[in-house]
A = this chain, B = another copy of it.
Amino acid sequence: MKGLLVRIDDYVQNAGEAEKQLISRLQRNPESVLRKTIKEIAKETYTSPATIVRLCKKLGCKGYKDFQSTLAYEVALFRESRDIAFQKITQKDTVEDIIYKVTKKNIESLETTRKLLEPKTITSCVKLLETSRTVSLFGLGTSLLVARDLYLKLLRADVICNLCDDWHAQFLTARNLRTGDVAIVISYSGLTEEMLQCAKEAKANGAKVIAITRAVESKLAAEADYVLPVAATELIHRSGAMSSRISQLNVVDVLFTAYVNRNYEFCMNQFGRTHIQKDGGT
């Protein structure tokens, strides 16, 4: 079920005069509604309790009380997510502050990335992975680390894949692609010239291009067949620590998990074969 405030917004167009008054009041300050009785709201908006109850029902609630508690829930979540809003790190910050702020920023970035991801796009990408002849990965700098992470995962699932460390080799890989291949190009900014070239080359050769990049101002996004967006975060600090790679890894997790879930039997069998026995992990 959609959020209540969204439903209110959707309903405006069908609303009568009194209802519009009400909705305007609700939207102006949803939070204060929680502390008011139905009569008070009726008085404020020059409407009647009956109209209010009717509106609540139209919005899918059982009545005014139900409406209030649904709204309370929503407002609580909203407030929580605003809280997170970024506080810059300054030189005055203690180490304790830094731990808190850096982590918060990374969490915020994950939350935002989650909201950007569209299930349909993920599904399309998973299908592409299933049917592709080969999967080639592209990335430089920090994004190369993300590419490597995905590479390790795909390897375990026995997806035929390819990743070169340096750009020249990556470009050659792009040159050799053909119809039926998939290129996954990773670049946070979406502006790295080398990556754009790889994407164009891949496309020109008939391969499908999946980009893992920020949504805004990304030339790469414009080139790609499918875009898996990550939150456009600033630097955490002028230090250059950035949340983008964490969001990118989250996208990789989602994509790969979705892939495994659709190819469960096969993948589980593969994981059994590729599990490194000697220790518990890395």
Check A96–B69 contact: CB distance below 8 A: no
Question: Is residue A162 contacting chain B, with contact meaning CB distance below 8 A?
Answer: no
Q: Is the CB of A281 within 8 A of B76?
A: no
Specify which of B96, B193, B280 is in contact with A191 (CB 8 Å cutoff).
Answer: B280
Contact with B along A29-72 (1 / 0, CB 8 A): 00000110000000000000000000000000000000011001
- The interface centre, meaning the residue of A89, A240, A250, A268 with most chain B CB atoms within 10 A of its CB, is A240
- Contact yes or no, A189 B239, CB < 8 A: no
> Quick one: closest B residue to A252, CB to CB?
B241
Contact of A236 among B100, B188, B193, B257 (CB under 8 A): B257
Q: Are B95 and A103 in contact (CB under 8 A)?
A: no
Complex CA distance for A252 and B111, rounded to whole angstroms: 20
Bound together, the chains give a CA A252 to CA B80 distance in angstroms of: 24
Which stretch from A15-23, A149-157, A172-180 is at the chain B interface? A149-157
Residue of B nearest to A139 (CB): B282
Within 8 A of B (CB), among A193-247: 193, 236-241, 244-246
Complex CA–CA separation, A268 to B282 (angstroms): 34
Q: How far is the CA of A106 from the CA of B69 in the complex (A)?
A: 30
A266, CB-defined interface residue at 8 Å: no
Answer whether residue A192 sits at the interface, using C-beta atoms and an 8 A cutoff: yes
| A142 interface hit (Cβ, 8 Å) | yes
Measured CB to CB, the nearest residue on chain B to A72 is B72
User: Do B145 and A123 touch across chains, with their CB atoms under 8 A apart?
Assistant: no
Please tell me if the beta carbons of B271 and A257 are within 8 angstroms of each other in the complex: no
Q: Does A107 contact B (CB under 8 A)?
A: yes
A 250-282 to B, binary, CB cutoff 8 A, 1 in contact else 0? 101110111011001001100100000011111
Known: A142-B152, A239-B261, A246-B249. 11 other contacts (CB 8 A): A73-B75, A95-B122, A96-B119, A103-B113, A106-B250, A107-B111, A145-B148, A153-B241, A187-B282, A241-B252, A244-B281
Interface pairs (22), CB distance under 8 Å: A69-B69, A73-B75, A89-B257, A95-B122, A98-B122, A99-B114, A102-B254, A102-B257, A103-B250, A106-B110, A106-B253, A140-B282, A145-B145, A187-B281, A188-B281, A189-B280, A192-B279, A236-B253, A236-B257, A241-B256, A246-B249, A246-B250
